[in-house]
Amino acid sequence: MTDKQLPLRLFTGGLLILGLVAILLLVFHPFFYITLPGNATVMFNTFSGIEKGRIERPGVTFVLPVIDAPITYNVRTRVWQFADGENIPNQAGNAIAVNSADGQAFTTDVFVALRPNQETLDELHARIGQQYMTTVVVPTVRSKVRDIAAEFSSNDFYKKERRIELEKKMTALISKEMPSIEVKGQRQPMIIVEGVFLGTAQFPEGLKASLEQKQVASISAQTAAVNAQIQQKETTRKLILADANRQSIELQGKAASRNGQLANLLFYEKLSDRIEAARGKGEPIPIKVIRVEGGEKSTIFINVDPQRAATGSP
């Protein structure tokens, strides 16, 4: 080996070692961190702690190996379930035991839709941490659901309108109890509660039977009230119709008293109606009516035996 070749070999060896070190650093301590969609990342600095104001959105972030430690949160809205059973997705705990205003005790499933507030994620991690469900959300939900349930009767858990009112009050109260921080002069929640929804209430058998009987009685009472309204309207309709017929008869009578020819015509029409009714029923026709008109002011009705009228006998 010549003196000229030695520096070249040393330089080549140095480059190789640097390349291996770079590869090792990239593999075990990457300079880039990728935040996936639906997530946000806060950065923990080994020397200064949580870097306030640094919240990384989905994408690639430059980090310093050993110094920067990224912590990623799922910031999508998720529905957490308080329900009994196994293999329940996003189960936050068992069904919540409540006591209603009428002194009844039972359990109910509760579903809470919430997400970490991405704008205050650094403060959430610094003050509470990744266990925010266990330390904050679960005890708050259990406490406030019981508080609101105590204002309603057990029967309200059967009624759609009252259940909606229950859910709205629970959502408002739980949201108010979530930790918050002032950002640019306004209070911002660290955890955003988007809705609280009640599932199936597990009533004791005796209470369940009693509530069902009340529901049946309520439906029966509503049906009876509707029927009464229908009957009242039908009675009113008949009274109006009867009054209209009475007025019609009075008007016809007044007109007939002024016009003798009209009276005769009305009498003839009544007789004709009776004959047509008898024919429709297949009954024998008791009379035959013949109308003979004389002058302008006279009309003669002649009752003739039907058989003799048919043969033309006098």
In whole angstroms, give the CA distance from residue 271 to residue 111.
Answer: 78
CA proximity to 121, closest of 185, 186, 181, 169: 181
Residue 292 within any structural domain of the chain: yes
Give residue-wise pLDDT tens across range 275-290: 777 777 777 665 655 5
Predicted local confidence at residue 171, as pLDDT: 97
Choose the weakest-confidence range: 115-129, 133-147, 217-231, 242-256. 217-231
Residue 97 within any structural domain of the chain: yes
Claim to verify: residue 93 and residue 185 sit in the same structural domain: yes
Residue 154 within any structural domain of the chain: yes
Claim to verify: residue 187 and residue 264 sit in the same structural domain: no
Instruction: Provide the domain limits for residue 253.
Output: 211-258
Choose the weakest-confidence range: 29-43, 102-116, 300-314. 300-314
Claim to verify: residue 197 and residue 93 sit in the same structural domain: yes
Q: What is the mean pLDDT of the chain?
A: 78
Predicted local confidence at residue 308, as pLDDT: 41
Residue 117 within any structural domain of the chain: yes
- The amino acid present at 120, given as its one-letter code, is T
For residue 137, count CB atoms less than 10 angstroms from its CB and return exposed for 0-12, middle for 13-18, buried for 19 or more.
buried
Domain count along the chain: 4
Claim to verify: residue 188 and residue 274 sit in the same structural domain: no
And the tokens for 192?
């955003």
Q: What residues contact residue 47 under an 8 Å CB cut-off, 6+ apart?
A: 67
CB 290 within 8 A of CB 309: yes
Claim to verify: residue 192 and residue 110 sit in the same structural domain: yes
Residue 8 within any structural domain of the chain: no
Claim to verify: residue 236 and residue 305 sit in the same structural domain: no
Claim to verify: residue 32 and residue 115 sit in the same structural domain: no
Residue 4 within any structural domain of the chain: no
CB 302 within 8 A of CB 292: yes
Percent of the chain with pLDDT over 90: 40
Claim to verify: residue 89 and residue 147 sit in the same structural domain: yes
Give residue-wise pLDDT tens across range 101-134: 988 889 999 999 999 999 999 999 999 999 999 9
Give phi and psi for 296, each to the nearest 5. -70, -25
Q: Which residue(s) pair with 71 in the sheet?
A: 42
Give residue-wise pLDDT tens across range 71-95: 999 999 999 999 998 889 999 999 9
Claim to verify: residue 176 and residue 227 sit in the same structural domain: no
Residue 55 within any structural domain of the chain: yes
Give residue-wise pLDDT tens across range 210-229: 555 555 445 444 545 555 56
Claim to verify: residue 226 and residue 185 sit in the same structural domain: no
For residue 54, give Cα distances in angstroms to 41, 71, 119, 237.
8, 11, 10, 77
Claim to verify: residue 80 and residue 199 sit in the same structural domain: yes
Claim to verify: residue 84 and residue 110 sit in the same structural domain: yes
